[in-house]
Amino acid sequence: MKQKQELILEVKDIYKSYGGKEVLKGISFQVFKGETKVIIGPSGMGKSTLLRCINQLTIPDRGTIWLKGQEVTHRHTREINLFRQRIGMVFQDFNLFDHLNAVGNVEIALIKVKGMNRKEARNIAFYELKKVGLEKQAFLYPAQLSGGQKQRVSIARALAMDPEVMLFDEPTSALDPELIGEVLGVMQKLVQDGMTMLVVTHEMGFARSVADEIIFLEKGRILESGPPEQLFYQPKYERTKKFLFKLTELYGDINGNRKK
């Protein structure tokens, strides 16, 4: 059984609006050590915005974010940069640094942000690349990697910073179907290793097999949240059921099988 005492991340009453349109209307939840929470919800409903509020790439209008009991919000830039080192983020479009090879992508923040010496950074970078199964591709550049490989490099890059929590923003949405599996495989391994994760995804098979809780975000609010079994089989709202059914139809069933 997973240990669930230590509170890692706390999101308290987050509001955010863009151009008069409120995309987040009071979101609150907690993530404990070793937990995996999956956020689902219709597109354009603030899921990415929510993740970006957590590491302050987007500043929320109201509400607070807490990392291990320390407030992340309302900080100076320098302090925010320190918090960001402790919060790993994986983007939908990978956002690899095009001028650096795989190992360069992983080690640059260790050198430039953590001030590590090059040799030490390289060792860590290789260790992380090995973890995502890419030690053979270490010297290839982003343009020479497949989408799945790029995303695994970006996961290794985030892991190298030794974060306390990992945020995944639709990590498989930009991938060809046959490449999704390798990325989900890496993420699954992270879950088994006890990483604390917050994942925005449409992959219901993944959510079902690893999530401790699914958070259903709609119209800027958490409509419903709970363990996968509960949301799939006894949801409080008809809306939840409909949405999950639709996702399953589009992206594969709860066993990870994809419809042709």
Partner 1 sequence: MINWDFLINILIPSLQEGFLMTIKLITYSIPLGLILGILVSIGRVYGNLLLSLLCKAYIIFFRGTPLLIQLFILYYGFPSLGVYLSPFTAAVTGFVLCSSAYHAEYIRGAIQSIKSGQVLAAQALGMSKIGAITNIVLPQALRRAIPGCSNEIIYLIKYSSLAFMVTCIELTGAGKIVASRYFAYTEVFLVIGIIYLTIVSLATKILHILEEKLSFPGWESKP
Nearer to partner 1, 49 or 248 (CB): 49
Closest by CA to 195, choosing from 154, 231, 167, 228, is 167
Amino acid at 184: L
Which part of the chain contacts partner 1 (CB under 8 A), choosing from 82-90, 119-127, 206-214, 215-223?
Answer: 82-90
Mapping DSSP to helix (H, G, I), strand (E, B) and coil, where does residue 176 land? coil
Instruction: Rule CB under 8 A: say whether 85 interacts with partner 1.
Output: yes
The residues facing 216 across adjacent strands are 40, 224
What is the CB neighbour count within 10 angstroms for residue 220? Answer: 21
Q: Strands 70-71 and 62-67, how do they pair?
A: antiparallel
Shortest approach of partner 1 to residue 33 CB, angstroms? 21
Q: Please list, in sequence order, all residues whose beta carbon lies within 8 angstroms of the beta carbon of residue 260, skipping any fewer than 6 positions away.
A: none
Nearer to partner 1, 51 or 231 (CB): 51
Nearer to partner 1, 101 or 248 (CB): 101
Contact 33, 198 (CB under 8 A): no
Instruction: Rule CB under 8 A: say whether 156 interacts with partner 1.
Output: no
> Contacts with partner 1: how many residues (CB under 8 A)?
32
Nearer to partner 1, 55 or 225 (CB): 55
Instruction: Rule CB under 8 A: say whether 77 interacts with partner 1.
Output: yes
Instruction: Rule CB under 8 A: say whether 95 interacts with partner 1.
Output: yes
Instruction: Rule CB under 8 A: say whether 158 interacts with partner 1.
Output: yes
The secondary structure of residue 143, as a DSSP letter, is G
- Listed in order, strand segments (DSSP E) in 146-205 are 165-169, 197-200
Query: Which position among 7, 108, 116, 254 is part of the footprint of partner 1 (CB under 8 A)?
Result: 108
Instruction: Rule CB under 8 A: say whether 178 interacts with partner 1.
Output: no
Mapping DSSP to helix (H, G, I), strand (E, B) and coil, where does residue 182 land? helix
What is the CB neighbour count within 10 angstroms for residue 3? Answer: 10
Query: Which position among 8, 31, 50, 109 is part of the footprint of partner 1 (CB under 8 A)?
Result: 109
Instruction: Classify burial at 215, counting beta carbons within 10 Å of its beta carbon; exposed 0-12, middle 13-18, buried 19 or more.
Output: buried
Shortest approach of partner 1 to residue 62 CB, angstroms? 22
Which part of the chain contacts partner 1 (CB under 8 A), choosing from 30-38, 97-105, 185-193, 207-215?
Answer: 97-105
CA distances from 9 to 6, 49, 68, 151 (A): 9, 16, 6, 24
Which part of the chain contacts partner 1 (CB under 8 A), choosing from 26-34, 60-68, 154-162, 198-206?
Answer: 154-162
Nearer to partner 1, 161 or 222 (CB): 161
Q: What residues line the site for partner 1 (CB under 8 A)?
A: 55, 57, 77-78, 81-85, 87-89, 91, 93, 95-99, 108-109, 112-113, 140-144, 154, 157-158, 161
